Structure 1
Amino acid sequence: MHFYDASISSCTGKSHFPERILSVRSCSTVIAVGLENEIQCFCIYMENYENLESYIRVVKLPSPTSFSLLMDLTGEERPHLAYPDSTTTGLVAVHDICAWTHSKKLINAHNHPIAALRFNDDATLLATASNIATVIRVYAVRKQECLFVFRRGLARTVTVNSMAFSADSRFLCLTSNTETIHVFKLEGTLPKFLHLEDELLQKSLEQSMPPQPVGWYDYLAGPTRAATEYLAPARDFASATLPEIGNVNIACLKKINGKLHILAAISSRKFFAFLVNEEEGGPCTLVNSGKLISKVCFHLI
C-alpha cells in the first residue's frame, strides 16, 4: 500500500501485507485495510505517513473472502467500521473501533448477500443494499433498528456502484451500472450522535428504572418494530440521468452556494454536476460537466 501526498505530488512511503489489498478506508484517527480474508485497523497518531509499522494495530477482524472490498469506515470522534458478515445472507457486522472490546454488532439487513453499504458522516446511520438491489434500507447504528425503506425499482436487476449521504443526513443518493442516479429523502426524526459517556449514562439510567407492569403495548411493540420491514417502501424523491455511463459510476451529495447538488464521476474520467430541488424533488438539472484531470492518476500508478 502506497502513501501519496497530493500537496507535493509524490509517494511518501509504503507498507506490505501478506494478502492482496482489496480496499482502504480512513478517517482522521484510523486507517482500515481490507485484505482477502481479514480487515486490519491501525490507529493514526502521527502526521508523517511513511508506513503502518509505526502505528498501533487496533484490531484484526476476519471477514468473508473478498467481502472486505465493501467495508466502510467513518466517524471522527467515534470511528465505526461496517462490512458484510456473510457470503450467503444479508448480515452486516458493525464495530465501534473506540470501544475497548471492539464487540461486533450484527444487523440482519437483507435476505440476499450485501452489495453495498455506507455510513453517514457521524456513523449514526447505515444504508445497505443487497445484490438484488430493489430495496435500500437505512438503519440506526446504535440500536440496529430499521428506520427507512426505499425502493430503487423493479424493472431490472442492477449492480450498485455507490451510495452516499448528504452532510445533514437528510438525503441519500445511489448509483449503479445504469444511467439513473437515485436520490432518497430521509423524512422523520434522525438518531443523534452520542458520546461514549452519554451512552454509559443512558444505559445506567435504564437499568436503574423500576420494572413497569406489562401492558398491551409491550405485546405489540415487538411486532410493530418488525413491521417496518414490511411497510411499503418509498420511491426515490429525485433522480438524475447521466448523459453516458462507464463501467463504474459513483456520486456524492454536496451543498454548493447553499443548494444541493449531485456530483457524479464515471470510469471514463468524466464528471457531471446536477442541481437537486430539495423541496419538490423530481428530475435533476444537469448544470456542469467536464473531463477529470489525469495527473493524479498517473502519479498513483
Structure 2
Amino acid sequence: MSKRVWLITGCSTGFGRELVKVVAEKGEIAIGTVRKKEQIAQLESINPELVKGIILDVQKQDTIEQAKQLIEKEYGRLDVLVNNAGYGTLGPIEETSEEEIQRQFDVNVFGCVRMIKLALPFMRKQRSGNILNITSIAGLNGFPGVGIYNGSKFALEGIGEALAAETRHIGIKVTNVEPGPFRTDWAGRSATYNESNIEEYKETAAKNMESIREVSGNQIGDPVRAVNAMYEITTLENPPVHLPLGKPAYKRIGIRLAEFKEEIEQYRHIGQPTDYTEEELEQMG
C-alpha cells in the first residue's frame, strides 16, 4: 500500500502541529492546514518531503475546494481526515452575542461538516478511511460558562455518531476524540472570553470561566501523548466511535453517566407512561 495521506486542520499550534510531526515520523504524508501564509514554511520545515502546508479556513468554501483539487491532483487519495480546527467561546449564554454564537457553530460544527464532505468522496471510492473529530469532554457534559461551546461540541458528537453508522459498512471509520484539559492554547489565546456583568452568574458561569483561565498552561494533559493516541486509533481494525483522552475526561464521563442514569430512573414514572396503551392502539387500528 502507498503511504497514507492525512488531512489535518488547525495545524499552526497544539494538537494539529504535534500530529503532523507524528504522521511524518511514521513515514506518512501530512497535509496540514493553516490560515496564514507565513505559517506554511514553519509547518513544512518539520519534514519537507512528507509535510504539505496549505491555506484553509473552514469557514470559507473556496479554500476547501482548493484543498480538494490539490489532493486530487497531487495524491489521488485521502486516507485520514482530522477535524481539529476549532476554538472555544466562553461566557454565560445570556451574555454571548448572536454573532459570536453563529461564529462558534460555523467553525466548530459547519466547518467540520464541510471537511467531512470533502473527504467522503475519496473514502467512498477507496472503500476505506478514518475520520477523527476532535470534540471535547465538553461535548458530553455541559458546564457553566461554556454553554455555547458545549452546544457546538454536542452537535459534532451527534454528527460523528451518525456518520459512523452511515459509513461503517463501506470501510470508513469515524471516531469522536474527546480530550479533557490539555496543555494547548485552547484556554489561552485561542479562546474568546465573553465577560459576565450579571450578578446572578457570578458563582456559576463567571466562577468556572475564571478557573479555566487560571489553569491555562498548567493542564495535566500532554499533547504529544494525545496525538500518539489519535494516530494509534487509525491503525485499529475496529476503532471506537468515542475516545476520551486523559484521566480527567474518564473521571468526568464516569460521574456524568452515573448522574444521567440516576436522573432518568428517578423520573421514569413521569416520562415513560406517555405512549398510547395497547388497548388504545388496537382501537386506532
Using structure 1 for the length normalisation, give the TM-score: 0.27
Name the one with the larger strand percent. Answer: 1
Name the one with the larger helix percent. Answer: 2
Using structure 2 for the length normalisation, give the TM-score: 0.28
User: Highest relative contact order (Cα 8 Å, sep 6+), 1 or 2?
Assistant: 2
